[in-house]
Amino acid sequence: MSDREVPREEAAGSRDRLLDMFEAAAGQYLSGEEISRRLGVSRTAVWKQIRRLKDAGYVFDAAPKLGYRLAASAAALDARRIEASLRTRRFGRSLTVLARTDSTQTEAENLARAGAPEGTLVVAEEQTSGRGRQGRVWHSPPGRGVWMSAVLRPEGPLTAVPQLTLLAAVAVCRAIRAETGVQAGIKWPNDLLADGRKLCGILLEAVVEDGRVRHCIMGIGIDANLEEADYPEELRQKVTSLRRESGKEVDRSALIAAVMNEFESLLSLHAEHGFQPIRLLWESLSVTLGREIVVRDARGERRGRAAGLGEQGELRLETEDGEVLPVYSGDIELYPGRASGDDPKER
């Protein structure tokens, strides 16, 4: 059987084992001969697999006699480059960069349970089981996105958690605008859109014990350098990426640091002055306010105008008969807008 005829699952399996091998080598060279012996495939197959990984955004150094190693470069996520751009005291200071994981949420959750401090950050080149809000799948292909999760240890009550979600959206939106020039806007509660298409999603998962927040995991997925071909067919009309919007390759390491910088400074603002300044920032970046919307939540479907944010970060929905209803969770659809069904693949 030629390399081209290798079944898809088998190819993915050997690619995963190849990445594991490079990760375990921790920056040391591996010869083509050694790789082919350990994987039980031909040298040509190894070379083709490496070429596929390069196409997916991984960067390799190749040296005669030594072989290949996974390289650090502007294109690949690089802990040193992220750290060099941080202006924080806590956020991103404890940093794990992974080539591949099932979900950075799970990685950060394990670290939080083991006592990791607030601001601990996990970033991955690829997620094999990335998850989104409402049990959806978050498509996280290798080498082109920003898939990251941070540990939060809020001291306030559980009711303040939605405010953190909105704060996170403001932080990411400001970082994106400053780093890339893309004029992203926030769709309630915390999706970022450009040209009406989604380019970032945020998932805040809170672990509660005895009515108190033990910790939260803030997951952020940004479609930084994804191309149309990186998405499954059914997502292509609904999504966009920073590269597509700006026409330029995004430096993901710099963007990660910028998000951490913004988040920490907004968290201080929140601690000192409460939710009001965050609410004003959120409203100024919103693409939801003033729009006709449909809300879908546990109570069913309601229509109205997005009138503003309430004290706890809830959306105030003004119905046709002038009643103002608070919306605490759920999905909204903007009119005129793109349909938002319950397809588990949908973002």
Q: Does residue 195 come out as left (phi exceeding 0), alpha (psi in the -120 to 50 range) or beta? A: left
Alpha-helical (H) ranges within 150-306 are 161-180, 242-246, 252-273, 276-285
Comparing CB distances to ligand BTN, the nearer of 149 and 288 is 149
Residues that bind ligand BTN in the complex, under the rule CB under 6 A: 103-105, 127, 130-133, 136, 138, 140, 147-149, 191, 201-203, 219-221, 347
Comparing CB distances to ligand BTN, the nearer of 49 and 140 is 140
Comparing CB distances to ligand BTN, the nearer of 19 and 256 is 256
Is 15:143 a contact under the CB 8 Å cutoff?
A: no
Q: How far is the CB of 315 from ligand BTN (least distance, A)?
A: 16
Q: How far is the CB of 297 from ligand BTN (least distance, A)?
A: 15
Written as six digits, the tokens of 283 are 């409203």
3-state secondary structure of 207: strand
Q: How far is the CB of 204 from ligand BTN (least distance, A)?
A: 9
Closest residue by Cα to residue 325 from 307, 312, 313: 307
- What is the rounded distance in angstroms from the CA atom of residue 139 to the CA atom of residue 134? 14
Comparing CB distances to ligand BTN, the nearer of 147 and 231 is 147
Q: How far is the CB of 252 from ligand BTN (least distance, A)?
A: 13
Comparing CB distances to ligand BTN, the nearer of 119 and 130 is 130
Is 123:80 a contact under the CB 8 Å cutoff?
A: no
Q: How far is the CB of 127 from ligand BTN (least distance, A)?
A: 6
Return the CA Rg of the chain: 21
Q: How far is the CB of 143 from ligand BTN (least distance, A)?
A: 14
Name, in order, each residue with C-beta under 8 angstroms of 212's C-beta and a sequence gap of 6 or more.
Answer: 157, 158
Alpha-helical (H) ranges within the chain are 8-25, 32-39, 43-55, 79-85, 104-113, 161-180, 242-246, 252-273, 276-285
Q: Which residue has the tokens 């603002």?
A: 269
- What is the rounded distance in angstroms from the CA atom of residue 95 to the CA atom of residue 119? 9
Comparing CB distances to ligand BTN, the nearer of 11 and 172 is 172
Q: How far is the CB of 275 from ligand BTN (least distance, A)?
A: 22
Comparing CB distances to ligand BTN, the nearer of 129 and 276 is 129
Q: How far is the CB of 337 from ligand BTN (least distance, A)?
A: 16
Q: How far is the CB of 312 from ligand BTN (least distance, A)?
A: 20
Residue nearest to ligand BTN (CB): 201
Is 175:181 a contact under the CB 8 Å cutoff?
A: no
Comparing CB distances to ligand BTN, the nearer of 46 and 242 is 242
Comparing CB distances to ligand BTN, the nearer of 136 and 153 is 136
Q: What is the dihedral of CA 97, 102, 106, 107, to 10 degrees?
A: -20
- What is the rounded distance in angstroms from the CA atom of residue 245 to the CA atom of residue 180? 9
